[in-house]
Amino acid sequence: MTDTIATQTNKRTFKMPNLGIQILIALVLGIIAGIILHNHSSKIWIIDNIFYPAGQILILMIKMIVVPIVVSTLTVGIAGDKILETSGKWGLKQSSILRSLPLLPLL
């Protein structure tokens, strides 16, 4: 009897909306922030001290996730193809090109 009461009180009452709804909420909040800050006197301070650092943190976090995924995918794919063993010097050149080109946009 007490077990059922304990499990009922531990359940979360607020359910997070799905990702599409969260994106729409963020879009609406961004539009509202843009409308409010459009003619606001301190919009440059807010952009420079709040929005710009938050955007830079977001970009760095995305890079931290994307770069290892791209590098590991290319490494595993090239190692699985055994380009170096089958083609010799040409394979080494192709392998170095395949590994370096996807990293250029990240610099």
Q: In this predicted model, what pLDDT tens digit does every residue of 74-92 receive, in sequence order?
A: 777 766 666 556 666 776 7
Distance CA 98, CA 106 (A): 15
Q: In this predicted model, what pLDDT tens digit does every residue of 16-31 receive, in sequence order?
A: 889 999 999 999 999 9
Q: In this predicted model, what pLDDT tens digit does every residue of 91-101 receive, in sequence order?
A: 677 777 777 77
Rg (CA), the chain: 25
pLDDT at 8 over 80: no
- Across the range 1-30, mean pLDDT stands at 78
